[in-house]
Amino acid sequence: MRTTVGIIGAGPSGLLLARLLHRAGIDCVVLESRDRAYAEQRQRAGILEQGTVDALRACGAGARLDREGLIHHGIELRFEGRRHRIDFPTATGGRSVAVYAQTELVKDLIALQLGENGEAGPPLLFGAEALAVEKPDSAAPEIRFRHEGRERTLVCQVVAGCDGFHGIARRAVPAERVRTFERTYPYSWLGVLADVPPSCEELIYARHQRGFALHSMRSPHVSRLYLQVDNGTDPAEWSHERIWDELSVRLGADGARPLERGPISAVSVTPMRSFVQEPMRHGSLFLAGDAAHIVPPTGAKGLNLAVSDVLTLARALVQHHRTGSTELLDGYSETCLRRVWQAERFSFFMTDTLHPRPDQSPFEDRLQVAQLDRIATSATASAELAENYVGLPLS
Ligand SMILES: Cc1cc2nc3c(=O)[nH]c(=O)nc-3n(C[C@H](O)[C@H](O)[C@H](O)COP(=O)(O)OP(=O)(O)OC[C@H]3O[C@@H](n4cnc5c(N)ncnc54)[C@H](O)[C@@H]3O)c2cc1C
């Protein structure tokens, strides 16, 4: 098999890249190791920056998002029994975010690519596991993959590694050519999906002495809630009653609406990690999204970073295709990493401010509260959080 751009992974980054290239007349093939149902049901992100929404609309993938997505103009911080709302449009000159589940975004992009709403996009092979990227620094890199029990090779001009944190693309870069930066956190998130209308209009980020809690949502009927738990926590230790009790305590605040309880459909535990691999390019191999970097989910940045990477990559590939210039391709890694490190910084800040560490001293407790108090009482501090949350401008 031959193509111009071989894309490994049908997560948000691989699917959006395929869509952008297809619309620009550049052929590509997407290889996805899992089946369609798995790819469409993996519960993950739900907050889209305005730049992400604009990009999806511009490539014809925003119709259902516009109908069903919820526009949020702020978030609420809770700490020491107090409540403080941050108004995004006031602080950012009119910007907001959208709540639209990653599962729905992935469904929309897959349906478009398979031509279920009209003209089909480039080939998308489910159950096609990439085994290795060969000759990544040559002009004809190859992806060796297994599909329907057979080993095959996809010969490309460019390989886009969009295969997430556990993918294989990153490993094709020789160790002496990369630097990695990593931080693990001494806590995890217990995530809950509940079939109950959210007990709030906007997301609530709560710092409580017993740990962090987040009240988020996926739709007007489905709540997404998180609790800070110890690393290594087994979800089986948490009965549904215990989860609701703990959420009620941590989300409690003066004058707050009581938390509605309902049937829980999924419980999972996610460790928190920050990771960056530099550079994001090696010869003809370009890494995008979680394949190159991850952030703890507190800042809601992972999916949005994946989108900004592929917008940058698509623009560079289109320039090269149309003019032969490699200028944007040569600047790809540097351009992306500037934004990546801003997202790493903000995600670390949100995580570190809102989670009491298990070994934290009373002094550090007070510092966290003082930081939140500063955000609640200073328009400048509040605007700094809001600007980062709605997304820094795309370069
Ligand atoms: C609990 C949780 C909550 C989150 N909340 C948010 C949020 O609110 N906002 C936000 O912006 N982000 C959030 N994120 C992060 C976000 O989900 C990721 O950043 C996003 O999925 C990255 O997209 P991606 O396409 O780069 O990678 P992925 O979504 O991981 O997709 C990679 C794809 O590659 C496939 N693949 C892997 N290996 C191979 C192989 N060898 N061959 C072929 N295919 C392969 C995988 O099956 C997968 O489909 C959250 C993440 C988690 C875990």
Is the model's pLDDT at 395 over the cut of 80? no
Tell me what pLDDT residue 229 has: 98
Average pLDDT over residues 354-369: 97
Are 99 and 70 in contact, with CB atoms under 8 Å apart? yes
Tell me what pLDDT residue 274 has: 98
CA distances from 270 to 19, 75, 188, 276 (A): 30, 23, 6, 18
Question: Percentage of the chain surpassing pLDDT 90?
Answer: 95
Cis peptide before 122 (omega within 30 of 0): no
Question: Percentage of the chain surpassing pLDDT 70?
Answer: 100
Four-residue CA torsion sign, 268, 272, 274, 277? negative
Residues 6 or more apart from 67 whose CB is under 8 A from it? none
CA distances from 137 to 60, 141, 157, 352 (A): 34, 7, 11, 39
Q: Count CB-CB contacts under 10 A for residue 249.
A: 15
- 19, 20, 102, 187: residue to mutate for ligand 1 pocket, most atoms within 8 A of CB: 102
| Centre of ligand 1 from the C-alpha of residue 290, in Å | 6
Is the model's pLDDT at 24 over the cut of 80? yes
| Centre of ligand 1 from the C-alpha of residue 105, in Å | 12
Tell me what pLDDT residue 218 has: 85
- pLDDT (tens digit per residue) in 234-264: 999 999 999 999 999 999 999 999 999 999 9
Ligand 1 atom closest to the Cα of residue 13 is 25
At residue 126, φ and ψ (nearest 5 deg) are -85, 160
99 beta partners: 47, 70
Average pLDDT over residues 37-55: 92
CA distances from 349 to 56, 217, 345, 385 (A): 28, 22, 6, 10
- pLDDT (tens digit per residue) in 111-139: 999 998 778 888 999 999 999 999 999 99
Average pLDDT over residues 194-219: 96
- pLDDT (tens digit per residue) in 150-184: 999 999 999 999 999 999 999 999 999 999 999 99
**Closest residue to atom 19 of ligand 1, CA basis:** 302
Go through the domains of the chain in sequence order and give each one's CATH number. Answer: 5-46+102-182+273-350 (3.50.50.60)
Ligand 1 atom closest to the Cα of residue 128 is 43
Is the model's pLDDT at 343 over the cut of 80? yes
Ligand 1 atom closest to the Cα of residue 106 is 29
The model's pTM: 0.95
Q: Which of 14, 17, 54, 21 is nearest to 393 (CA)?
A: 54
- In 200-301, which ranges are E strands? 203-208, 211-219, 222-229, 264-278, 281-282, 285-287, 293-294
Ligand 1 atom closest to the Cα of residue 129 is 42
Ligand 1: residues within 6 Å at CB?
Answer: 8-14, 31-34, 39, 44-47, 102, 129-130, 162-164, 167-168, 191, 270, 289-290, 297, 300-304, 306
Mean pLDDT of the chain: 96
- 75, 106, 214, 290: residue to mutate for ligand 1 pocket, most atoms within 8 A of CB: 290
Residues 6 or more apart from 94 whose CB is under 8 A from it? none
d(CA 204, CA 199): 10
**Closest residue to atom 27 of ligand 1, CA basis:** 164
**Closest residue to atom 51 of ligand 1, CA basis:** 44
d(CA 313, CA 319): 10
| Active-site residue, 135 included | no
| Active-site residue, 72 included | yes
Tell me what pLDDT residue 207 has: 98
Average pLDDT over residues 13-34: 97
| Active-site residue, 389 included | yes
Tell me what pLDDT residue 42 has: 86
Average pLDDT over residues 274-288: 98
Is the model's pLDDT at 321 over the cut of 90? yes
Tell me what pLDDT residue 118 has: 78
Are 19 and 112 in contact, with CB atoms under 8 Å apart? yes
Burial zone of 385 (CB within 10 Å; 0-12 exposed, 13-18 middle, 19+ buried): buried
Tell me what pLDDT residue 44 has: 84
Catalytic residue, candidates 22, 301, 320, 355 = 301
Q: Which residue has the higher pLDDT, 46 or 4?
A: 4
Q: What SS3 state is found at 62? A: coil
Ligand 1 atom closest to the Cα of residue 268 is 1
**Closest residue to atom 2 of ligand 1, CA basis:** 44
d(CA 100, CA 325): 37
